[in-house]
Every structure is written in C-alpha cells, then in structure tokens.
Amino acid sequence: MKTHTLLMPLDMHLHLRDAVMLENVAPLSAYSFSGAIVMPNLVPPVESKEDVIAYKERIMAAVPNDYFEPYMTLFYKNYDKAFLLDIADEITAIKLYPAGITTNSEGGVNSFDIEEMRETLETMSELGIPLCVHGETDGFVMDREAEFMSIYELLAKNFPNLKIIMEHITTKAAVDMLDKYDNLYATITVHHLLITLDDVVGGMMQPHLFCKPIAKRPEDLDALLGLALEAHPKVMFGSDSAPHPQHKKESCGCAAGVFTAPMALQLLCEIFEQFDKLDNLQAFVSDNAQNIYGICPEFKEVILEKRPFVVPENYSGVVPMYAGETINWAIESVE
C-alpha cells in the first residue's frame, strides 16, 4: 500500500464549540493534529483573560489522552494597551468578525474606523499578535469577500507591522491580494479546494456543504488550488471545520458550517496526490504555519495510507462532509 507521512499537522482555523459538542469533537482533531488555532465565537464570546484560560482548560479536559495544543484566540474588540499587555502570553491571535456576518458574530466590528482601532492594532503590532479576519462585507453573498479586499488594503497599509491573516479565502480576488502586501497571509480550507457553489445548490440543496463564506466559482477554486498545491509560503491549512447538530443543518434556516476535522488530512492527501504534489503537503499543513506564527508544536507523526475509507454517517450527531461516501486515503497510524 502507498503511504504518506505528515509531521506535526496543524489546523490553523478550527471551531471546537463548547460543552457537550466540545467533548464530542475536540478528540477528533486532537487525534490527528498537533495543534489548532481555536476560534472564539462562543456564546458569549471569548473576550477576557479569564475567558481564554477557562476555555483552554475545558478544551484540554476534553482531550486528556492526546497531545494537542489549542492556540487560543480572543474575540476582537477595541482593547486598550494595558489589557493586551496583560493577556498577550495567553493568546496566539485575535479574531476579527464583521458584525453579524457569520455564526455568533453579532458582537463583531460595525465600523472599520482606523483611528478607533489604532490603539488595539498598534499594540498588537508591537506585541507580535496576529490579527485573524473573517473577510466579508454584508453585500451580495457572492461578492462579499471580493468587496472586503479594500478593507484588507486599509489595514495592511495603516499597520504594516501587523501580521494579518485572511481567513478561509474563497476567491481569486483574495489570491491576487495576497502578495500585494508583505503583512498579508491566508488560510485555505479543504472543502474550498473541492467544491463550488454548484455542488451546494446546483441540484438538490446539500446542507452539509453549506458554509460561510460560501463556495464560489470554478475559477476561484482553480486559483485556490494553485496556491495550496504549491504550498505558497504565505498560505497555510485551516479547516474552518464547524460542527452543528444534524437537526440544525437539515432544517429551515440551515446553519452554516462544514464539518471536516476527522477526514481533512485524508482529503488533502487525495487532492495533492491527484495533482502530483504530495511533496508539498507537509509545508501546507504544518511548516508554513510554524513559520508564520512562530510556533513549535510537539512531535506527532501521522501516517496515511492509500486505501478506501468510508466516511462515517455521523460523529455523535454531527454529519461530516462526504458522509457515507468512500474516499481514497485513510489514517494508518498516529505516533
């Protein structure tokens, strides 16, 4: 059997939720990943030092048998310098959500007034705290990410020493923006390397492929593949794996989010092998992230094997991407 080894895989954009959902899904990421950037959009959001410490403790309690480092984030507000100095050692990044644009983001940013944001963003620049951004406007849904490019430019120009992560990019516009500014970086999900909007609503609605930002056009997918397959040094893997109970997905008002955590590495092997780029997968799923964030995850070796793997129909009530379907790679062992 053909095998492929990955060292210290990292998921640089992950939703673990809380309570019972956290207990159900966190072990699935901890099994195959050395660490992950954990999103702070809980209810209520993670906004204080006490919130960060308590949430990390709950995550670690949910994964007691696997080495896994949750890289904690704070929900963006216009924090003062004293607060950021006090919390800097507890967090890896701060996550900015435009208000109301995605799940549990109602308390996000309403106005990108540079002067109002200056103290926070200049302090983050001084302390080396990256700003992770969900980059969408409230415009027409297919144009929201492209419209946000002007805000990325505004932030990049005004805070040239601030490391800005364009999260889960989905468009050629974002790909084109990446190299315009030295301080812009990006994460890409596995599902946005596989699907377009046609896969979601071109036939019968596929609720378990519905996410925000939504999948876009074939030319956008091609642009993303070009970045990922070459393991562009400013790009890293971030699953944006977003679990919801089955009844929240298969309902009127379908929740946005694709659950990929348990099979993300297997799907990435399939994609990179298809294009004869398996040698670049290590950089995409670990090395680039270590360089961008300056992190040193503890050793974990994941051996994947090319053999049929049937994706489970659900994981504790959460339906994954490609549920019940057969994919071409499986995890053989984790050391």
Neighbours of 252 (CB within 10 A): 4
C-alpha to C-alpha distance for 92 and 73, rounded to whole angstroms: 6
Residue type, 111: S
As a dihedral over the C-alpha atoms of residue 144, residue 145, residue 148, residue 150, rounded to 10 degrees, the angle is -120
199 catalytic residue (yes or no): no
Q: How far apart are CA 11 and CA 29, in angstroms?
A: 8
173: number of Cβ within 10 Å:
18
Adjacency order of strands within the sheet including 326-334: 3-7, 301-310, 326-334
Is residue 144 within 8 Å of 213, Cβ to Cβ?
A: yes
Structure tokens at 328: 């071409």
- Helix, strand, coil abundance in the chain, percent, nearest 5: 40, 20, 40
Q: What is the SS3 assignment for 207-273?
A: HHHCCCCCCCCHHHHHHHHHHHHCCCCCEEECCCECCCCHHHHCCCCCCCCECCHHHHHHHHHHHHH
Active-site option among 51, 220, 240, 287: 240
Do residues 32 and 334 make contact, with C-beta atoms less than 8 angstroms apart?
yes
Asked whether 104 and 45 are in contact (CB, 8 A), the reply is yes
End-to-end CA distance of the chain: 19
Q: Maximum Cα–Cα distance for the chain, whole Å? A: 58
Q: Beta-carbon neighbour count of residue 50 at 10 Å?
A: 11
Q: How many residues does the chain have?
A: 335
* Active-site annotation, residues: 240
